């Protein structure tokens, strides 16, 4: 069987536990960060200056975390998340505004590179989210009920800009509404194509398309999979069934019989649910963020973990992923 750990930690009152996160994950992240050689990554001054320019409100947090772990040149560059090595995940997401509003998503990636870390933090705003790159976020909700989630945008191009997890962190740390998040994110360069779907407490939603060297696009879509306005990488689109997944989710939006419960069930079924773990495209978790309750329910087949800003329970759990024996052997 294939298992992933899910560790929920509360840093909102005392973030000194974050050093344990760094100590545990830095060796693997360092190897990944340097896999193309250190010269392939921007230098320390370039990285920090770019971070200060685009994320001024996060600079004191960056400095605090760097000091906490005595970060040297390489670790400091990594923590800025400026122009990291390229990486691709899968994922599907939808902003649902009927019966019980939710931002629902599947995160599809390799279990080898999954932190499995749910963090509650209170640096600028109180936030719950799934961690990536130690302090970035894959998805989350803040104290104002603003929810955000990311998917890979399905384009090969890379460029100078930030890894999307720190963009999502910045959005939730500094914004209260979808409109504020849009205004903020239009100013931030990203290093790869990604999509962020937003849903706020007033049920305003949007999906933003990022791509290096191109103008960031704001759409009224409630759905994000692994392409943007059109498919530009056909082989990847076929492998990941991105068009089919988006078609299903868009149909759910107009189906009068669809409910949040039936939609949650769909996220545990193919093609939204994937078991291609050996291709870095297996569903590691599903999540439903509620902007009214300011809560999240992480769920799998037969298991769920609910957390909220008002009732966050630290702890460690082990989750079984659904995959065939053949696929498990290839990991």
Q: pTM score, two decimals?
A: 0.96
Residue 73 forms part of a structural domain: yes
The answer to whether residues 110 and 72 belong to one domain is no
The answer to whether residues 248 and 167 belong to one domain is yes
Digit-coded pLDDT (tens) for 229-278: 999 999 999 999 999 999 999 999 999 999 999 999 999 999 999 999 98
Residue 6 forms part of a structural domain: no
pLDDT along the chain (331 residues), means of 10: 93 97 97 96 98 98 98 98 94 98 97 95 98 98 98 96 98 98 98 98 98 96 97 96 98 98 98 93 97 98 96 96 43 20
Domain boundary residue, one of 39, 63, 85: 85
The answer to whether residues 19 and 107 belong to one domain is no
Residues 190, 204: Cα–Cα separation, whole Å: 24
Domain boundary residue, one of 85, 108, 130: 85
Task: Report pLDDT for 325.
Answer: 32
Residue 264 forms part of a structural domain: yes
Residues 30, 22: Cα–Cα separation, whole Å: 11
**Domain containing 114: what range?**
86-330
Task: Report pLDDT for 331.
Answer: 20
The answer to whether residues 124 and 253 belong to one domain is yes
The answer to whether residues 103 and 230 belong to one domain is yes
Residue 5 forms part of a structural domain: no
The answer to whether residues 163 and 192 belong to one domain is yes
Domain boundary residue, one of 85, 112, 139: 85
The answer to whether residues 181 and 62 belong to one domain is no
The answer to whether residues 81 and 132 belong to one domain is no
The answer to whether residues 265 and 192 belong to one domain is yes
Task: Report pLDDT for 131.
Answer: 98
Residue 287 forms part of a structural domain: yes
The answer to whether residues 102 and 124 belong to one domain is yes
Residue 279 forms part of a structural domain: yes
Residue 100 forms part of a structural domain: yes
The answer to whether residues 74 and 139 belong to one domain is no
User: Does the bond joining 271 to the residue before it have cis omega, within 30 degrees of 0?
Assistant: yes
CATH code (residue 214)? 3.60.60.10
Q: Show the 3-state SS of the chain.
A: CEEEEEEEEECCCCHHHHHHHHHHHHHHHHHHHCCCCHHHCCCHHHHHHHHHHHCHHHHHHHHHHHHHCCCCHHHHHHHHCECCCCCCCCCEEEEECCCCCEEEEEEEECHHHCCCEEEEEECCCEEEEEEECCCEEEEEEECCCCEEEEEECCCCCECCCECHHHHHHHHHHHCCCHHHHHHHHCCCCECECEEEEEECCCCCEEEEEECCCCCCEEECCCEECCCCCCCCCHHHHHHHCHHHHHHHHHHHHHCCCCCHHHHHHHCCCCCCCCEEHHHCEEEEEEEEEECCCCEEEEEECCEEEEEECCCCCCEEEEEEECCCHHHHHHC
Digit-coded pLDDT (tens) for 83-122: 999 988 899 999 999 999 999 999 999 999 999 999 999 9
Residue 225 forms part of a structural domain: yes
The answer to whether residues 209 and 271 belong to one domain is yes
Residues 160, 243: Cα–Cα separation, whole Å: 28
């Amino acid at each position: 069987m294939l298992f992933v750990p899910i560790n929920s930690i509360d840093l909102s009152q005392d973030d000194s536990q974050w050093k344990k996160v760094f100590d545990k994950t830095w060796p693997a992240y360092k190897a990944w960060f340097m896999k193309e050689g250190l010269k392939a990554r921007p230098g320390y001054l370039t990285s920090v200056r770019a971070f200060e320019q685009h994320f001024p409100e996060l600079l004191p947090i960056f400095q605090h975390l760097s000091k906490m772990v005595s970060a040297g040149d390489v670790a400091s560059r990594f923590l800025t998340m400026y122009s990291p090595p390229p990486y691709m995940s899968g994922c599907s997401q939808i902003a649902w505004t009927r019966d019980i509003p939710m931002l629902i998503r599947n995160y599809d990636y390799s279990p080898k590179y999954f932190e499995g870390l749910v963090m509650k933090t209170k640096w600028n705003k109180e936030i719950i989210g799934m961690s990536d790159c130690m302090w970035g976020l894959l998805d989350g909700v803040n104290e104002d009920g603003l929810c955000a989630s990311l998917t890979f945008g399905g384009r090969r191009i890379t460029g100078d800009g930030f890894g999307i997890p720190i963009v999502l962190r910045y959005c939730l740390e500094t914004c209260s509404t979808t409109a504020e998040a849009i205004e903020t994110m239009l100013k931030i360069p990203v290093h790869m194509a990604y999509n962020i779907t937003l849903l706020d407490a007033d049920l305003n939603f949007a999906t933003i398309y990022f791509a290096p060297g191109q103008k960031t696009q704001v759409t009224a879509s409630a759905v994000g999979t692994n392409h943007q306005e059109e498919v530009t990488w056909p082989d990847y689109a076929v492998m990941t069934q991105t068009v089919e997944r988006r078609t299903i989710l868009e149909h759910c939006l107009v189906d009068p019989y669809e409910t949040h419960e039936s939609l949650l069930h769909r996220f545990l079924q193919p093609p939204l649910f994937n078991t291609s773990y050996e291709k870095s495209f297996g569903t590691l978790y599903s999540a439903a963020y509620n902007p009214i309750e300011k809560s999240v329910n992480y769920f799998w087949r037969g298991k769920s973990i609910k957390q909220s800003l008002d009732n966050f329970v630290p702890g460690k759990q082990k989750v079984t992923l659904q995959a065939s024996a053949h696929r498990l052997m290839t990991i």
